[in-house]
Amino acid sequence: MDAVRCSVEYLSEFGDCQSHSVRIVQDGTSLFLTSGDRDVLIFNVQERRVTTVMQFDASVINLALSDDKHRLYALCLNGGLYCTLIPPQISSSSVLVNKSSDGVLYTVPDDSIVLKNASLQAFTVVEKILVTLSIHKSVWSFDLYEEPGSRPLHKLACFQVVTLNTCCLSKTEKDKSVSSPPVLTCIYPEGSTSVSTHKSDLLPYLEPHLFRLLFGVDASLVNSPVILCGLPDGRICCFPLFVPTLAGPRGEQRSPVRVLQSLEQPVVFIGTCISGEHGPQCLVAVGQRGKLLMVKSKQTSLEGKKADYSFNEHTVRGPVLCACVDDKWLYYSSLNDLHALQLTTASSSSEATGTESQLQALTSDSLGVCRVIALAGPYTNSTGSVQLLAVSLSGRLLCVNLPQGSENGNVPRLPSSLAGQRVKDLLASIANIWERAESLKHKLQEKNESLKRLNQVINVCSLLLDNHGNEKACDVGTKLPISCRGVARWSSLLQRDSLTLTCVLENSSGCTLEHGWTLCIQVHPLSKGPNMEDSSRTYSFPFKKLDSGQKLDVTIPLESTGGLSLPVKVYCSLAFSLSALFSPEASSPGVSQLLTEMGSISAPLSTLTVDWLDALRLEGSFSHGNIRHNTVTNGIQAFLHSRGVLTKDSDTTTKSGPITVMVRVSSELLKTKLHLSATRSPETCVSVLNWLVSPEAIGQPSVQSPVICAYSPDGCSVKLLVKEVTLGDFCSDGPLEVLEIRVESTSVAAVCGLHHAILRRLQVLLRDSALKCGHIKQLKAQSLFEAVRHVESLFKDLQDAQNQAALGGTMKMKKNSEILFRIFLQLRANPLVIL
């Protein structure tokens, strides 16, 4: 068996087609194609592209070219027959210049309708005559019009055929038969002028003998082409085109339309082909359910006997969707396969063995192309192989190259080994395509995900921005949707105590903080020590997901390499990196490439301050080992001091005893501000002390006595006292209850830090006290005056000291600092009362 097989070239794809409405008409390199919608595509076979799209008003159901190939006739579903000039093709040279020019859309204007008749079923253009077939009230009527005629078209003639009363057909079958339109074919007598001038292979023709037998003396004498029509009811009608209405045998007028034969099934195709080896042409008709009719002239004995023709009926496996014919082969497509049927062998064998074999089903050769619903051709190309153009059900335009080897009658069937290979190839290509489809799906999903995330981010951002506004407007009282709180704690790790800040990010909003968000905490010391130039640090905590209602605890150390420097400002913010929009495995580097380091969003959450009070370690709340460790360092320091390697600060601290600073606040003010209910002074003192030391836990006080002994972060012991004193001479209304908050420590730094912390807290507390306290105390001028004088004297001392410092060199430095320290202490020791 030969290994020849037909090769299928895939030319283009047009999308899904309806099987009954696809029409292709080829003219040279242009292919006119409609797939049942409003468009007619003009496809250039050589360039393999659609050059023009012609858009009609309604779905196109049939196409034909005029004789001079300059005009296209299209029958649309709205019953309009359009005739339009074919728009000039863009030549390939201009395409090379401008490659981007795709098809040109050409909307067919409404006024190119030449005929409007909703019952039009089919039409054809032959010899400058337009033949239309319409059905109206069960009468088929053929109408002939002058083709490039004036509008409205000049009607030349009209013939009518009554439809068969097909009572046996069920309704559904009727519908089906209506759905398959009638087929109109024009058949020429051999040797007629139009056959010889045209390319003969394009026009179906019959030898004169058979032509005369089939279509009558008149048509053959006039050499008139004959229109054959396959009606959906299976009848094949014919009438000669150029024969005038003739008189019948009784002198009456007679319809020129004759019924040749009935296939009893919708006719799909009518054509002619060669019968026998080099025999004359015979007529071929194919029915939808596989009936194949061949009409041949019988070889007559020489003398006398009336010549006859024979109808040979064969059956091929249906359904036949479309068919075409070349000299010897009939190509037809059932949905499963494209078949090639050699008509010559069929006829010769039937002649050899007589009538019995005529009835048997013809075996046809499979070409292995499935789902073909429309065929054009066949055409012999320059290399000699025969080409068919086919449209598949999925809208692919295929070029089927038939091997030359088919000439010898061999079945172009695949050998099994090749078939296996072919299957493998096909499977591989299917896999490839599947992969591509998957990846595309994946990409799409990714993009959707990104968009979803982006939406979330923007939601969150707007929430945070609202936060910000709220924070300014009303106070801390309202709960924010996303908030961050922080508590400083001592923790011991590896025998070393360190101050840590525990931040709690709480998401009480409706949104979920997705992957990509980062909690950024920036720790920024307020005081700048000499050995910490840029000591602000940023900690960032990316988190996977924070659902609404969830909390995130993070703990950061407050000590840096340079040691602990208080107070510290902590800025909390939420940041989102845009790169997180694109999931890490995303295969689209394109967009994320564009993201530079700027590609992030940062929204401030809250600002905290950690001061000395926060960092105090109350006695009894920690193990002593660590403190001892601290005292050891003190010891070492003391040792170092004694050796003379001293810093000036420590010098002063060691020399002077415990230093005391004091803050006085009007107890009434403080009570109202802290909402204290206690009336007795010791309770008030305890409460105030609690507020100072552990502001979060007002409910369960950690301190019972008005005196707290604690250790400062650097290990010095600190004493905090609160007591209530009465200032009798201060206020004109009478004695004034004042709370005296006193800090005692040997360490200047601790004292200063605590003092600053207490003042800051009071400041925050009393920020808008002036507005809220309507009752203004009448102060005694005397005490006020004294206080002012005291401050003024201190100021004078300070000025003196400054002057001296300016005058004196480094020698007097020490003395100066002593003076300043004294002034400082005096100022702190007897402060003004905060009312």
Q: Give 330's DSSP letter.
A: E
Query: Considering beta carbons, is residue 128 or 772 the nearer one to other proteins?
Result: 128
Which H or E element spans position 94? helix 92-97
Region of 299-307, 333-341, 423-431, 437-445 interacting with other proteins (CB under 8 A): 299-307
Kindly state the smallest distance separating residue 434's Cβ from other proteins, in Å: 54
**667 part of the interface to other proteins, by CB under 8 A:** no
For residue 297, the minimal CB distance to other proteins (Å) is 8
For residue 250, state whether it binds other proteins (rule: CB under 8 A).
Answer: yes
φ and ψ at 295, to 5 degrees?
A: -110, 120
| Residue 282 touches other proteins, criterion: CB under 8 A | no
Query: Among the candidate windows 35-43, 259-267, 298-306, 408-416, which touches other proteins by CB under 8 A?
Result: 298-306
Q: Taking the complex as a whole, how short is the minimal distance between the CB of residue 249 and other proteins, in angstroms? A: 4
Query: Does 68 contact other proteins by CB under 8 A?
Result: no
Contact at 8 Å (CB) between 287 and 320? yes
The reply to whether 118 sits near other proteins by the rule CB under 8 A is no
Closest CA to 17 of 289, 398, 337: 398
Region near other proteins per CB under 8 A, out of 219-227, 474-482, 719-727, 769-777: 219-227
Task: Choose, by CB under 8 A, the member of 28, 191, 244, 420 that binds other proteins.
Answer: 244
CA–CA gap between residue 250 and residue 235 (Å, rounded): 26
Q: Answer yes or no whether residue 156 interacts with other proteins by CB under 8 A.
A: yes
CB of 353 to other proteins, least distance (A): 27
Helix (H, G, I), strand (E, B) or coil at 716: coil
Could you say which of 138, 197, 253, 679 contacts other proteins (CB under 8 A)? 253
Q: Taking CB under 8 A as the rule, does residue 301 contact other proteins?
A: no
Interface residue with other proteins among 248, 549, 625, 735 (CB under 8 A) is: 248
Best CA proximity match to 182, nearest among 274, 338, 75: 75
Region from 216-224, 396-404, 445-453, 745-753 binding other proteins, contact rule CB under 8 A: 216-224
**CB 309 within 8 Å of CB 300:** no
Asked if residues 678 and 706 have their Cβ atoms less than 8 Å apart, the reply is: no
For other proteins, the closer of residues 278 and 305 by Cβ is 305
| Nearer CB in complex with other proteins: 129/578 | 129
Give strand pairing partners of 253. 247
- Residue among 128 and 767 whose Cβ is closer to other proteins: 128
- State yes or no: residue 155 binds other proteins (CB under 8 A): yes
Question: What sign for the dihedral angle of Cα 162, 166, 171, 175?
Answer: negative
Helix (H) or strand (E) run with residue 273 in it? strand 267-274
In the bound state with other proteins, the residue whose beta carbon lies nearer, of 190 and 614, is 190
Token reading at 364? 């046809």
Q: Which of 242, 539, 543, 821 binds other proteins (CB under 8 A)?
A: 242
- Residues 521 and 539: beta-carbon distance below 8 Å: yes
**Contact pattern for other proteins over residues 397 through 416, marking x by CB under 8 A:** --------------------
What minimum distance in Å lies between the beta carbon of 588 and other proteins? 52
User: Nearest approach, Cβ of 144 to other proteins (angstroms)?
Assistant: 6
Q: Any contact of residue 139 with other proteins (CB under 8 A)? A: no
Q: CA 412 from chain center: how many Å?
A: 47
Which residues have a Cβ under 8 Å from the Cβ of 530 and sit 6 or more positions away?
Answer: none
The residue from 5, 212, 453, 617 that contacts other proteins (CB under 8 A) is 212
Select from 224, 630, 687, 747 the one that contacts other proteins (CB under 8 A): 224
CB of 40 to other proteins, least distance (A): 24
Per CB under 8 A, 246 contacts other proteins? yes
Kindly indicate which of the ranges 302-310, 342-350, 567-575, 583-591 contains the residues binding other proteins, using the contact rule CB under 8 A.
302-310
324: number of Cβ within 10 Å: 20
Please tell me whether residue 823 adopts helix, strand or coil conformation. helix
Q: Kindly tell me which residue out of 137, 278, 305, 675 binds other proteins, with binding defined by CB under 8 A.
A: 305
Minimum distance, C-beta of residue 260 to other proteins, in the bound complex (Å): 15
Contact 780, 730 (CB under 8 A): yes
Alpha-carbon distance 712 to 630, whole Å?
Answer: 10
CA dist., res. 66 & res. 59, Å (int): 20
Give the 3-state DSSP-derived string for 120-179, with helices as H, strands as E and coil as C: EEEEEEECCEEEEEEEECCEEEEEEEECCCCCCCCEEEEEEEECCCCCCCCHHHHHHHHH
Between 26 and 275, name the residue whose CB sits nearer to other proteins: 275
Q: Does 306 bind other proteins (CB under 8 A)?
A: yes
Angle at 602 between CA 596 and CA 608, to 5 degrees: 145
Task: Please pick, from the candidates 24, 53, 129, 610, the single residue that binds other proteins as defined by CB under 8 A.
Answer: 129
Give the number of other Cβ atoms within 10 Å of residue 589's Cβ: 9
- 165: CB partners within 8 A, 6+ apart: 138
CA distance linking residue 274 with residue 113, whole number of Å: 39
Instruction: Answer yes or no whether residue 146 interacts with other proteins by CB under 8 A.
Output: yes
Give the phi and the psi of residue 80 in degrees, each rounded to 5.
-95, 135
Q: Return the number of the residue (152 or 563) whose C-beta is nearest other proteins.
A: 152
Report in angstroms how near the CB of residue 300 gets to other proteins at its nearest.
8
Element (H, E) at 416: helix 416-473
> DSSP for 603-655?
EEEEEEEE-HHHH-EETTSS-HHHHHHHHHHHHHHHHHHHHT---HHHHHHHH
304 is a site residue for other proteins (CB under 8 A) = yes
- CA quadruple 309, 314, 319, 325: dihedral sign: negative
Interaction between residue 217 and other proteins (CB under 8 A): yes
Neighbours of 485 (CB within 10 A): 16
235 vs 314 by CB, closer to other proteins: 235
- Residue 128, interface with other proteins (CB under 8 A)? yes
Q: Please identify, using beta-carbon distances, which residue of 58 and 156 lies nearer to other proteins.
A: 156
Q: In angstroms, what is the minimal distance from the CB of 128 to other proteins?
A: 7
Output 243 or 678, the one with its CB closest to other proteins: 243
Tokens of 124: 């054809």
Q: Which of 27, 127, 351, 818 binds other proteins (CB under 8 A)?
A: 127
723 part of the interface to other proteins, by CB under 8 A: no
Select the residue interacting with other proteins from 130, 144, 270, 362 (CB under 8 A): 144
User: In whole angstroms, how close is the CB of 253 to other proteins at the nearest point?
Assistant: 4
Q: Of the listed pieces 88-96, 208-216, 393-401, 677-685, which binds other proteins according to CB under 8 A?
A: 208-216
Site string for other proteins, 76-115 (x = CB under 8 A): -----------------------------------x----
Contacts of 91 (CB under 8 A, 6+ apart): none
Interaction of residue 283 with other proteins, rule CB under 8 A: no
Which segments of 480-619 are extended strands (E)? Answer: 482-493, 496-507, 517-525, 537-542, 551-557, 568-577, 600-610, 617-618
Q: Which of 15, 88, 251, 589 touches other proteins by CB under 8 A? A: 251
**Closest distance between other proteins and the C-beta of residue 156, in Å?**
4
Question: What is the binding site for other proteins (CB under 8 A)?
Answer: 111, 127-129, 144, 146, 150, 155-158, 209, 212-213, 217-218, 220-224, 241-254, 300, 304-307
